[in-house]
Structure 1
Amino acid sequence: MLGCKPAGTPLEPNTHLKGQEGDPVDKGSYQRLVGRLIYLSHTRPNITFAVSMVSQYMHDPHSTHLEAVYRILRYLKSAPGRGILFSKHGHWRVDCFTDADWAGCPDDRRSTSGYCTFVGGN
């Protein structure tokens, strides 16, 4: 990944991953990569949607899913200084936002949803 070309977005536009596409890959290494991306998404909310898409296939990953994970890593390489900076503010107001994509998965018509919570202005 050191010599790879950086990507401008976490996923290709209009990406729709499917269950049994491509060759099977090592489940353990895929789960470790996606687990680390889930942890990283707490401070990098711009990758949260892409990570939620690839995490749906942790039980049976294939080469197309791994390529999507590599795309997220290439995107992270293009933006090394971005992320959330938690700074001190004088208030503790909580703001919450949510969004959903109903039946957006072409395989099983599952829905995808997400939320953001801002505490104390962060």
Structure 2
Amino acid sequence: MRIGELAKRTAVSERSLRYYEEQDLLYADRTPGGHRDYPESAVDRVVHIQELFAAGLCSAKIVQLLPCMRDGDGGPSASATPWLISELAEERARIDRQVDDLLRARQVLDEVISAAKGS
């Protein structure tokens, strides 16, 4: 499929798809005319990339992780190394810290709102 169709099917801009390709996150064959030609599996791959970016991972970390994920269902493949598992555990711990920080901030806001309503 062409880049425009992939962009439409994934709700990701063509510019972002080109960036993903520059970062080795996404691959496309080229037609004789030089146009990108993505396989059907690119849809799942882009969805995974978006999910990982939303989780706060950087493109360098995503490049390491993607080969360990199956595109069809996102589950793990057999190629996850102990080093990568350790790296991902660190990322998960970072996300947990962010969640804790957000929960504390929400609690402070709740207290301020409650106090403002009571006065």
Q: TM-score, normalised on structure 1?
A: 0.28
Bigger relative contact order, structure 1 or 2 (CA pairs below 8 A, ≥6 apart): 1
Larger Rg: 2
Q: TM-score, normalised on structure 2?
A: 0.28
